Amino acid sequence: MGPRLFLIVCFSALAAASLASVGVGTWLISTELPEGAQDVADIVIVYGGGIACLLVATIAVLWAYLDYAIAQPLSAIVRGIQTVIHANPDHRIEVDDSHQLGNLPQAVGELVGQLAQARSTVSAAILKATESVEHQKTQLGIVLQDLHEGVVVCNLNHSILLYNNRALELLHIAGEIGLDRSLLRFMNRQPILHALTRLSNRVAEGRHMRHAEGVMVSFVGSTTDGRYTLDGRMSLILDSDDVPSGYVISFEDDTEELAALGLRDRLLREATEGLRAPVGNLRAAAEILNSASDMTGEEQTAFRQVVLKESKYLSDRLETLSAQYRDVITGSWPMTDIYSANLLNNVAHRLREQSSLNAMMTGIPQWLHGDSYTLVELLDRVIRKVGAFAGTDTFELEAVAGERHVYLDVVWTGGVVQTSKLSSWLDDQLEETLGGLTLRDVLEHHKTDIWSLPHRDGLARLRLPLPPAIRPPSSRDTRNRPSRPEFYDFELLKKPAQLGQLGGRTLKSINYVVFDTETTGLEPSAGDEIISIAGVRVVNGRILTGESFERFVDPGRPIPKDSIRFHGITDEMIKDKPPVQVVLPQFRDFVADSVLVAHNAAFDLKFLKLKEAECGVKFDMAALDTLLLSVYLHDYTTRHTLDAIAQRFGIEVQGRHTALGDALVTAGVFLKMIEVLEARGVHTLDEAIEASNTIVEVRARQASF
């Protein structure tokens, strides 16, 4: 009951009581009067009525004043407090000055003010804490995204709270994975429940305190669609009272490793137990043939047949088993996919730093499967030995794609290393930390061998075949970016450069820089800019991988979203990069007096030309276009994109769609083209430019229709 209603009730009761007492008093007096005093009785009634009226009026006035001065302000204060609590913390309580509540409104006002202040302090603190948590969450997210392993965080109901890209990649298949969905929809439940039970029991019994693995347990799981076998580890998340509140699972796709392990086991079993019976048969028959002298011709023939049949069976069986064993790709030694450029770069660096030997990388880098550390050790050791043996300090390192292997070739000027000598080097041990591993062991782990052969032009070569990568990034990268449309500025390519003597030189003997640019769009004259430029040197028919140029450029404008699907370069990536005025002169220095080569060269050249004045450099050297040369060489097809040509020449396209990746592929394509051009009678630079020009003219004529 509110204060106003309370007053009404109280004062109504008071009025009723007053009326009742006056009424009863009047009635008693009038009944006590003697007979015949009617006049007095009338007077008493009239006075009683008057008193009653006066009482009621007084009570009403009193009520009205109390209601106005006390009850109404109290109600206002109550409403105000409610507003502060539920709606607006900054609300100020207002009460008319005519109230009779003394200091109450003021005191309440102060209290509310202090409450509001305390509250805002608390929310500021909460906000700050939340921001810090958000920041940590973002950091954690970034770390998780970069992890090679899949990571999923769940609560005890298996609802997914957090996951990373790799988890998405491995689990995605069974429908969309998403937050607040059950992990059990994506991973088979039994292994997870079992692991969780083991851990929960371990914690409940307090064993986790002294357990070697604490709150972690390994398990073998699988995706619900059965595509992946997962090598998983589960860790419990404990709250401050050591009560489990959730779990973290990290996992890796172990399908191939486990399959290989299983196959190895089976082969071993078949090679031992499976061969017992046939060897037994063979031995029995041979012994009998040897010892029994009193044998009929028929009996002898029967035993001979056994010997023949069983040895044939053994031969065939052995063949099958060893063929199967060869296919077991992964050994017990841990291996990963490696990019040959990184591997050889490591080798080159070590040779330079520790042995003052020069190693230059050539060719198109390849992806292979191996153990980087021991391979670097092996190559470093062997190359140093070759250096001492052949008396040379300069080497070329090249990765070559073969049908079944990726070859790492080491080339030097001088004699071949005799197999027996090479073989004797392989008994050397690597560093002690590797437990006395020899170079030969490294070869065995990779199921390979190494040999030396004569190379062209009095050079010698060391060849190390290695398994190709199991999942090279090109097969992982499912983004299929569109090719740039063909682009012609006919004037730009038609004009033969002032070549002089260079024009008469053979294509093979000329130094080239094969390059590629990525741009914000297709129209340089409409404000599109270079955002990345890369080139690689080609000398004496070899791609010098180690001598490449690669720069991002700040275009001084935002990168249009539409163009990102072509090049994958975002504003974030070119932030803090130098402008074109810095990069183009650097590129000009890199090019020096080489001939430029590019695919769809007119497009890239146009961008360079437009920046010449601004950058104070000139790109007036001769240029060849692999697109025009392709049209010249393969006029039967209309497919002349870089991908199509690379495929036609059997060049493995790896790391495509970066400026350097594309430049490398273009260089590979260009070298193949030189061979075909020679076969078609195009030998010199002049002749190649002439051949291109005929194509430009044809296309110009086509374009004019």
Partner 1 sequence: MAKSILVVEDEPNIVLSLQFLMKKAGFDVRVARDGEEALMAVEERAPDLILLDVMIPKRDGYDVCQTIRANPEWSDIVIIMLTAKGREVDREKGIALGANDYVTKPFSTRDLTEKVKQILDSSG
CB of 402 to partner 1, least distance (A): 9
Closer to partner 1 by CB, 465 or 535: give it. 465
The residue from 100, 106, 132, 419 that contacts partner 1 (CB under 8 A) is 419
List the catalytic residues.
657
In the beta sheet, which residues pair with residue 624? 597
347-365 as b/e: b if 16+ CB within 10 A: bbebbeeeeebebbbbbbb
Among 21, 120, 301, 315, binds partner 1 (CB under 8 A): 315
Q: Is 404 in the site for partner 1 (CB under 8 A)?
A: yes
369 binds partner 1 (CB under 8 A): no
> Which one-letter DSSP state was computed for residue 594?
P
Question: Which of 46, 318, 388, 592 touches partner 1 (CB under 8 A)?
Answer: 318
| Closest CB 276 distance from partner 1, rounded Å | 18
Closer to partner 1 by CB, 200 or 311: give it.
Answer: 311
Q: Specify the stretch interacting with partner 1 by CB under 8 A; choose among 29-37, 352-360, 418-426, 690-698.
A: 418-426
Radius of gyration, CA atoms only, the chain: 46
> Least separation, in Å, of the C-beta of 303 and partner 1?
19
> Judged by CB under 8 A, does residue 305 bind partner 1?
no
What is the nearest approach in angstroms of partner 1 to the Cβ of residue 463?
Answer: 7
Q: Which residues contact 83 (CB under 8 A, 6 or more apart)?
A: 91
- Number of residues in contact with partner 1, rule: CB under 8 A? 21
Q: Which string of DSSP letters, residue by residue, matches 387-438?
A: HHHHT--EEEEEEEE-SS-EEEEEEEESPPPPHHHHHHHTT-B--GGGTT-B
The stretch near partner 1 (CB under 8 A) out of 18-26, 308-316, 341-349, 613-621 is: 308-316
Note whether 423 binds partner 1 by CB under 8 A: yes
Name the amino acid, one letter, at 22.
V
Stretch that binds partner 1, among 312-320, 391-399, 558-566, 617-625 (CB under 8 A): 312-320
- Considering beta carbons, is residue 75 or 311 the nearer one to partner 1? 311
Q: What six digits make up the tokens of 467?
A: 């398994």
DSSP string spanning 458-525?
TEEEEEEEEPBPSS-HHHH----PPPPPP---HHHHHS----GGGGGSBGGGS-EEEEEEEESSS-GG
Closer to partner 1 by CB, 423 or 511: give it.
423
Task: Tell me the per-residue interface mask from 424 to 453 with partner 1, x by CB under 8 A, - otherwise.
Answer: -----------------------xxx-x-x
How far, in Å, CA of 147 to CA of 166, rounded?
8
Q: Decide if residue 465 touches partner 1 (CB under 8 A).
A: yes
48 vs 465, beta carbon nearer partner 1: 465
Nearer to partner 1, 405 or 588 (CB): 405
Q: Which is nearer to partner 1, 83 or 324 (CB)?
A: 324
> How many alpha carbons fall within 13 Å on the CB side of residue 145?
6
Question: Interacting stretch for partner 1, rule CB under 8 A, among 21-29, 170-178, 310-318, 339-347?
Answer: 310-318
Query: Which residue pairs, CB below 8 angstroms and at least 24 apart, start in 207-216?
Result: 208/236
CA distances 368 to 258, 343, 372, 581, 602, Å, are: 20, 10, 10, 39, 35
Per-residue HEC secondary structure of 518-583 comes to EECCCCHHHCCCEEEEEEEEEECCEEEEEEEEEEECECCCCCCHHHHHHHCCCHHHHCCCCEHHHH
Nearest approach, Cβ of residue 334 and partner 1 (Å): 21
- Among 405, 440, 542, 577, contact with partner 1 (rule: CB under 8 A): 405
How many residues are given for the chain? 705
Instruction: Determine if 309 is a binding residue for partner 1 (CB under 8 A).
Output: no
Residues that bind partner 1 (CB under 8 A): 311, 314-315, 318-319, 322, 326, 404-405, 416, 418-420, 423, 447-449, 451, 453, 463, 465
